[in-house]
Every structure is written in structure tokens, then in C-alpha cells.
Amino acid sequence: MTAKISRRSFLQTSGVVAAGCSIAPSGLHAANKNTIPKKQPHIIFIMTDQHRGDALGLINPIIKTPHIDQIGKNGLIFLNGYTSTPSCTPARSGLLTGQAPWNHGMLGYSRVARQYPIELPRLLRDSGYYTFGIGKMHWYPQKSLHGFHGTLVDESGRIDDDGYVSDYRDWFRLNGPGKDPDKTGIGWNENRADTYKLPKKLHPTQWTGETAIQFIENYDLENPMFLKVSFSRPHSPYDPPQEYLDKYDIKDIEGPVRSEWSEKFASEKKIHSPAFGDFGDDFARKSKHHYYANISFIDDQVGRITDALKEKGIYDDCIICFTADHGDMMGDHNHWRKTYAYEGSAKIPFLMQYPKWYDSKREIGTEVMAPVELRDFLPTFLDAAGTSIPEKVDGSSLLSFVKEIDPEWREYIDLEHATCYKPHNYWAALTDGKMKYIWFIRTGEEQLFNLEEDPKETSDLSVKRKYHKTLEKWRERMVAHLEERGESFVKDGKLVTREKTLLIGPNFPDKQWSNKEALSYWKNETNKAFKML
């Protein structure tokens, strides 16, 4: 049971710190103090799809990612990087808008709005940048620009628009006439793994890297560039070329994490695309072997991209960031894929390299423990561009950690996902990177994990009397977080269970897209994934 508490009172008494910049009367964040940029740097934003936060050599020496690691070694390594809504489209909505899920309106997997009041590429374009996107965008319509001057898109074969063919698939037809881009035979949400059955040059990872390099080589504008490079892997299919599998000895690869609390998920039906189930250590290791190999394949492309920046003579004038939209459970706790609050799903790589001429207060390679999230990239890039940040942006500039040793920052970050895979999988969570509290909205269950002592989340502390006060503190924080949503979420100072899923919130800008339509879309997408098997 929790005492009644208002959001205003909670924020005044809990010690939550400001988000790193003050609010100007004009409706824009005031310019950050100690502004660094004397000129606008190029911004190179590299992201992957379904990439676990621990799947980097910086975190796990087994994994071969020297080029990605170097981005962090040359800048900052954020060890508590999260994605607030860990599936593709809501994560990318937060990245696009710089907003929390409630404010951009997508609370689970659905269709991205046609246009948002705040859009990162458009704001950078208005600030003088030439903006270009390559790879997976996962927008609707699929060739939407959202402010980019142009995009060349790879959508993993997904077709949401009648007659749509991605730029990668058109390129494939040109360079592999008559060949089947899906010859490996694994669907885009399967857990099986196999070697890529075509020449490496035709793989979408190679195409994405090569296209980015061509863009850099051809760039001759005086304007700074904003280049987004979005790889569609290591998201399944787990299909690396053999040479990247050869970088690993499967004997070195760990099996899935098991826990007492997750035994109830072990006996799900054995199909190729499950959300839950224990398939055995050998199966999980094989999937993880191919998953890591896909990451090393991407790492080679990142190295080629940074080499192209150096050859162009602009490498030292770049902000380079590396992240992902969400993680991949890889069988941990008998969970597969994403949409969960657990570290394998919600924690992501988070690295930032900044120009050498920045007057940094920190040593390069510094590890930052503060909780950061995808919403923080938009204000970071606007800060770098010397542009005011819209008031309705919820994120804060990561450059605060360059300018100051101990900047004001949020105490914890919010996570959530509307129902997906199973009715119980409807939750909201809070974490500061040290503790994590999860509230299951439909069932009223709770979980509490000590991430410092138990980073693999094997022991649920919510059932232990010793942690009663800690559980109560985090529950009250959740009350304060959710109470703005009304009495269907919080009533009389207590969390409320819901029978119905709210997938699209009232702040979603596309008013023609109702919660009912969004739920229907989600069901159709799920059915399509299973029909591919």
C-alpha cells in the first residue's frame, strides 16, 4: 500500500534533479551554459537494430567490436543507456521527437505518426545542416522524410505501403538479378540462425556501410552534415557471412541467463519465432554466436565509415554517436526478442565522441553512470548546432557531461511498453541504473532488482521483507510518474491495474490513428511475423 502523494509534492521532496537546462519564457530551453561550439560540427549518428547494451567489446571482451569501441574511447561511454519503449517504432519515435513515450504518444509497438510537432532532422535542417538518412527508418509512410533532405532505406523486406520497394531491395535487383535476398530462409523475427547464403557484397549490412561511405565521399557542401546510418542488424535474421562467425569460438559464448522467477516461461510452444521458451543452451548459444557475428560485421562497416571521414578530412570536426533502438533477450529468463523491461531488452549501447576542439572537462574514455535515454540525442544535437531546444523536449543534452564534471541530471529514467506477445506483458518501469522497479499494469505484480549486485536480474527483491522500504520508495516514484495520466492509472495515490491496453496516448499527433486501429495494426504485424515461418 502507498500513501497518497501528488506529483508536485513528490518532485519537491524526492530530490529529483533538473534535466540539465532551464526553461526560457519563449517556450524554448535557454542556451546551455558554457556553450562549447565555436562552429557547427558534423553529426554522424550510427545506430543498430535490436542490439543489447552488453554486446560490445567495451562491456564483454568476448565480443569483437574494436571500431565501435573506439567511439567511446575517444569520447564518453554511457554505461546506463536505455530505450524507454523497447520495440522498434516507439523507440524511434522517442529518438525522432526527443520526448518521453506519454508525450510523443506511442506507448508500445504501433505505426509512427506521419508528422510530429518536433522532429530531429527538420530542426537540424532549419539550423543549416544538410540531413541525410541511410538504412532502417521504420516510419510510415515508409519513404517519409520528417525533415531529411533525402533517405535511402532498408526495411528488412517489410511492406506497409502498397507497391513499396525499399531502396536496398531495388539496389539488390540491380546487383543480384534473379537472386533471392531472403535465400537464407529465416524470417525477421525468428530465433534460428544460419550463415548468409549469398555473396557478402549483397548483404544489407554491407549495403548500408557502402552507401554511407559513398555519401561521405561525395559530400562537397559548406553546410555541416547530419548523417544517420541505421543498420537493420543484428536484429534477426541472424545471418552473418561465414568470415564473421569464424571470429568466435562458440565454446566461449555464454548460455542464457536463468532465474527462479522466470521458470514459468520455460514451457512455451516450441516454434521458430516465440516470445518465450527454453530451447536449451546449445540453441541459444548458436543464436548468440550468429548475433555476435552480425555485430562484428557491423563493426567493420563502422570502421570503414570512420576511415572515410578521416580521408575526407572531417573526422576531427565530428560528433559521432552510436546506439540502438532496443536490445534482444536472446533467451535470457526464457524471454526472446524485445518489449520487456529487463536489461537484455531495454539497455542499449550508448557512446559519444566529440570534436577534438571541444573544451572538455573530462578525460576521453570516461565512463558515465547517469541514466540516459534515446530522447537525449535530439537536445544533444541541437545543443551542438547552437540551436535552442523546444520546451516540450523531455531529453537533455549529453554535452552537459562534456562541459561539466558533475552536471545536473535526472535521477532515474522511465520505461514502459503496452501489451505485446502475452496479456501480462503490459508494464511500466523506473531505473537509475542501480535499482529497477517494474509495475505490471494488467496484473498488479511488481519486481525489484538490484542491478549493482545482480546485473543479470536473477533475484526479484520485491518478495523479500528486507527490501520493503526500497520497494515502497520506487512504487511512490511510479505513482508520481503515472498520475498525470489520470485515474485509470493512479487513483487516491495508488497504482491502478487496467483491463484494457492503452497503446496510443492522447498526445499522439495523428488523430486519424485511434487506439483501436493501432491495436489492430499490432495484431496484424504479429500475425505476419508468424505466417513467415
**Cβ-proximal residues to 25 (8 Å cutoff; 6+ apart), any chain:** none
Which candidate in 21, 67, 88, 203 is catalytic? 88
CB-based contact 328:51 (threshold 8 Å): yes
Task: Tell me whether strands 130-135 and 150-153 are parallel, antiparallel or unpaired.
Answer: parallel
For residue 344, give every residue at least 6 positions away whose Cβ sits within 8 Å of its Cβ, in sequence order, or none. Answer: 52, 54, 257, 327, 328, 329, 330, 332, 333, 335
**Beta strands 28-29 and 389-390, pairing class:** antiparallel
Give Cα 518 distance to the centre of its chain: 21
Evaluate whether 78 touches 350 at the Cβ level (below 8 Å): yes
Q: Please pick, among 29, 67, 138, 235, the residue that the annotation labels catalytic.
A: 138
Active-site residue, 88 included: yes
Distance CA 421, CA 269 (A): 13
Q: Which three cell numbers stand for residue 161?
A: 505501403
Beta pairing class for 42-49 and 318-324: parallel
Nearest to 54 by CA among 330, 282, 284, 242: 330
Nearest to 525 by CA among 503, 498, 497: 503
How is residue 96 written as a grid cell? Answer: 525522432
**Rounded Cα gap, residues 183 and 177, in angstroms:** 13
Write down the residue that cell numbers 489492430 correspond to: 520
CA 196 vs CA 168, 185, 188, 210: distances in Å: 16, 9, 14, 18
Catalytic residues: 88, 138
